[in-house]
Chains A and B, each alone.
Chain A
Amino acid sequence: GQQLNQSPQSMFIQEGEDVSMNCTSSSIFNTWLWYKQDPGEGPVLLIALYKAGELTSNGRLTAQFGITRKDSFLNISASIPSDVGIYFCAGRADSSYKLIFGSGTRLLVRP
């Protein structure tokens, strides 16, 4: 079945540093979403991308929908302690309702 490869698996960075994570797929998606999950809570939407090449920002977060429609990245600039959590990419293919999730990137920020 369709799978997303998300990397890195985890990151431990210093407060103020920039962070980059990405997802790749062997198949084409028409939607890429980035979610953040805190312990004991559900995924919270950060950024939604619907068009190949689209670059979208939400505060310190920037995400891009790859031109090939098989990848996406998320950048976080000037990280702060509350950025700690697990970040998931999710993709949706044409003619399907479901989201396929990546395995997550666990972000730890050292004050």
Chain B
Amino acid sequence: EPEVTQTPSHQVTQMGQEVILRCVPISNHLYFYWYRQILGQKVEFLVSFYNNEISEKSEIFDDQFSVERPDGSNFTLKIRSTKLEDSAMYFCASQPRQGRGNQPQHFGDGTRLSIL
């Protein structure tokens, strides 16, 4: 069965450094998402992306965050200047389409981001 794949599985970065998290969504999917999960807490929405632009974002997704789909397969999340509180699991998700006959979002296994 097709999967969402994320790399790296674990990223350790010094505070203030830039980090890029990578995702390869399922190939025929049209909607892409980033979520994060701070240790022991629930999954929180960050941003959704459709037709090469952000369609919705949360309060967490401030100017330090950006997303990009540089080619037909990758979907990336960049954090420009990381803070300690950015330490979390970051999950990418993809979805075939919206609207009637909704399809669910499928999640990758996540990237654990540790900020030192």
Residue numbers of A with Cβ under 8 A of B are: 30-31, 33, 35, 40-45, 48, 50, 88, 90, 92, 96-104
Q: A88-B42, A98-B45, A104-B42 are in contact. Are A43 and B91 (CB under 8 A)?
A: yes
21 A-B pairs in the complex with CB atoms less than 8 angstroms apart? A30-B102, A31-B102, A31-B104, A33-B105, A40-B110, A41-B110, A42-B108, A42-B110, A45-B104, A45-B107, A48-B102, A92-B102, A96-B56, A97-B33, A97-B56, A97-B98, A98-B48, A98-B56, A99-B45, A103-B42, A104-B42
Interface string of B62-96 (1 = CB under 8 A from A): 00000000000000000000000000000100000
Interface of A is mostly: loop
Asked if B18 is at the interface of the complex by the 8 Å CB criterion, the answer is no
**Partner pick for A43 among B44, B107, B112, CB 8 A cutoff:** B107
Q: A31-B102, A45-B104 are in contact. Are A97 and B43 (CB under 8 A)?
A: no
